[in-house]
């Protein structure tokens, strides 16, 4: 098959993005913004965003974009006015690096060198201490039991104050339950419980664990402290190869099911143990092994029971889920997929700072393009199910599922787009009207188009017709779009889409963009005279949440 990269047009004459990966300066006290157009008066709350924001200490520089120190941003919207503030997360990593004015704690792609003051013998030994796990939580804002945290993919999160962006205590998942990591993409159910996934390994093997954190209790609101009590592992899925477990960034959740996507981006545990001794950084221990294909592990989220049916498909990788829902005995799963997982180690700062033109074109044109796909799992497969015939009977659905042998089903996807999307370079960072439609039949999602190494357009996709609406202007780079429903919404896309727009072309020309979610036309923008580095994810916090 032709790869997604070959299907998308090659770029030429791309501009330099170096200004978007320069260290930012914090603005701890809220500053006013200049409004152009109108910001609807009903929007009342804060748009919170996270991402790497500091890339060096003293003369030490990080190598990988994911390594940058977490910087939190808050656009507070009230009665048509907007203020902006930002702070670096005061993680242990940030504090130790700041005090020593060098990189002391190793991150995803940067290995901290031993202390230059130690003698040669002590330096040799310090190589054998496994890296201190970082608490540089630079990926997302998440909410557990009514408290806001910033998170990355290690066992540490940091509780934060969503108003002042002050850093609170460090929280270690492994103090509550038997996991040594958790994703930055939890799912929330309608009762207020939160689901996430983490790893554990023991003599019995390597396991992917589904975690449930219960809803907040009434009296909990009074305490100003982190609270993950009642967190439980509801299901443990053994890794197909305990020596080489799969990397995962998110998981699928519908009304009644959770699906874990075991993908062929593998973490070599033996290398992981040795990499500190050899002085290699973490992203070198991840390998793309397409010979393994994909296993979808289906779990009932109420009972924690895993299905005995193994659902398989061709190799791909997925970082972000769009939505999933059940329909007439089928589970429909929409996700952003790439067909070449060599990608993840390439987001080095050196690559992101390449010169305009040929150098940047070559890097961009070498990257995988991620495209939305729909996979459908038949939920009623048993010994009576016939072999080798398509089990998907949904109207207008091109995805297939065939029972290949007892207890095994092979599925193929439907492309959730037309060729028009290829002109935008594929898409990533999908978001939906989560509050009302997560885990339910839905029609729209919002995302960034990737005509450059960073997103350079905002897209609205209609999954019924596969039609696109787009917002795209040369030199403007939008953040992940977040949907906010209007208070009297009757339809799925009644509301606005928020995105922070940055540009490498002009100093301090950042603005918060507000689009009408229905028409995808601009309602207004709030201009703020700061430089914001390109970020990862964000959340909307309604007033009173």
With b meaning 16 or more CB within 10 Å and e meaning fewer, what string describes 357-372? Answer: eeebbebbeebbbbbb
DSSP-H helix ranges across 383-478: 434-437
Instruction: Give the residue from 274, 253, 285, 260 showing the smallest Cα distance to 198.
Output: 260
Q: Which residue has the tokens 């999933």?
A: 324
Q: Angle CA(28)–CA(514)–CA(31) in degrees, nearest 5? A: 20
What distance in Å separates the CA atoms of residue 137 and residue 150, rounded to the nearest whole number? 6
List all residues 6 or more positions away from 173 whose beta carbon is below 8 Å from its beta carbon: 155, 156, 157, 179, 180, 181, 182, 198, 211, 228, 231
List Cα–Cα distances, 97 to 101, 281, 305, 390, in angstroms. 6, 18, 44, 57
What distance in Å separates the CA atoms of residue 373 and residue 293, rounded to the nearest whole number? 16
What distance in Å separates the CA atoms of residue 128 and residue 513, rounded to the nearest whole number? 49
Write out 149-209 in H/E/C secondary structure: EEECCCCEEEEECCCCCCEEEEEEHHHCCCCCCCCCCCEECCCCCEEEEEEEEECCEEEEE
Task: Let me know: does 428 contact 448? Beta carbons within 8 Å.
Answer: yes
Q: Is 185 annotated as a binding residue?
A: yes
What distance in Å separates the CA atoms of residue 155 and residue 200, rounded to the nearest whole number? 11
Task: Let me know: does 106 contact 132? Beta carbons within 8 Å.
Answer: yes
Retrieve residue 61's tokens.
């520089």
Q: Quick one: CA torsion of 143, 145, 151, 153, rounded to 10 degrees?
A: -120
Q: Is 413 annotated as a binding residue?
A: no
Q: Is 537 annotated as a binding residue?
A: yes
What distance in Å separates the CA atoms of residue 181 and residue 173, rounded to the nearest whole number? 7
Q: Is 249 annotated as a binding residue?
A: yes
Annotated binding residues for Fe cation: 185, 249, 320, 537
Annotated binding residues: 185, 249, 320, 537
């Amino acid at each position: 098959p032709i790869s997604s990269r070959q299907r998308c047009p090659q770029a030429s004459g791309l501009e330099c993005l170096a200004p978007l990966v320069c260290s930012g300066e914090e603005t701890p006290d809220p500053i006013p913004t200049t409004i152009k157009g109108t910001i609807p008066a009903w929007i009342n709350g804060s748009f919170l965003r996270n991402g790497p924001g500091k890339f060096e200490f003293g003369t030490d520089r990080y190598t990988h974009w994911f390594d940058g120190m977490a910087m939190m941003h808050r656009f507070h919207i009230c009665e048509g006015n907007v203020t902006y503030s930002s702070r670096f997360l005061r993680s242990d990593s940030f504090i130790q690096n700041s005090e020593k004015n060098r990189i002391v704690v190793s991150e995803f792609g940067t290995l901290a060198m031993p202390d230059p003051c130690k003698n040669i013998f002590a330096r040799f030994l310090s190589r054998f201490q496994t890296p201190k796990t970082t608490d540089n939580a630079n990926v997302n804002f998440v909410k557990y039991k009514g408290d806001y945290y910033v998170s990355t993919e290690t066992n540490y999160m940091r509780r934060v104050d969503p108003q002042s962006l002050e850093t609170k205590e460090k929280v270690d998942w492994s103090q509550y339950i038997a996991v040594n990591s958790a994703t930055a993409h939890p799912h929330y159910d309608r009762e207020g419980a939160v689901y996430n996934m983490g790893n554990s390994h023991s003599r019995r093997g390597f396991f992917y664990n589904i975690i449930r954190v219960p809803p907040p209790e009434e009296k909990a609101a009074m305490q100003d402290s982190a609270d993950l009590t009642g967190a439980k592992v509801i299901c443990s899925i053994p890794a197909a190869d305990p020596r080489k477990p799969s990397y995962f960034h998110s998981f699928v959740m519908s009304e009644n099911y959770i699906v874990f996507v075991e993908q062929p981006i593998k973490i070599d545990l033996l290398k992981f143990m040795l990499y500190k001794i050899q002085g290699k950084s973490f992203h070198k221990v991840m390998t793309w092994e397409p010979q393994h294909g994909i296993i979808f592990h289906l779990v009932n989220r109420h009972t924690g029971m895993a299905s005995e049916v193994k659902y398989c498909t061709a190799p791909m990788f997925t970082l972000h889920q769009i939505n999933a829902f059940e329909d007439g005995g089928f589970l429909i799963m929409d996700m952003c997929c790439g067909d070449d997982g060599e990608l993840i180690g390439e987001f080095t700062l050196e690559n992101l700072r390449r010169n305009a033109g040929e150098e940047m074109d070559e890097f961009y044109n070498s990257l995988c393009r991620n495209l939305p796909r729909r996979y459908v799992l038949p939920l009623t497969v048993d010994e009576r199910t016939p072999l080798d015939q398509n089990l998907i009977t949904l109207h207008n659905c091109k995805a297939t599922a065939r029972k290949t042998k007892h207890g095994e089903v092979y599925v193929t996807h439907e492309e959730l787009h037309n060729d028009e999307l290829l002109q935008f370079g594929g898409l990533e960072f999908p978001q939906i009207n989560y509050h009302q439609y997560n885990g339910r039949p839905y029609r729209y999602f919002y995302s960034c188009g990737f005509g450059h190494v960073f997103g350079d357009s905002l897209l609205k996709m209609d999954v019924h017709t596969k039609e696109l609406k787009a917002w795209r202007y040369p030199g403007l780079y939008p953040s992940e779009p977040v949907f906010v429903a209007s208070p009297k919404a009757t339809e799925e896309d009644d509301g606005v889409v928020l995105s922070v727009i940055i540009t490498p072309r002009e100093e301090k020309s950042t603005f918060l963009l507000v689009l009408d979610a229905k028409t995808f036309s601009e309602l207004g923008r709030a201009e703020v005279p700061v430089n914001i580095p390109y970020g990862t994810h964000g959340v909307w916090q309604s007033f009173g949440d």
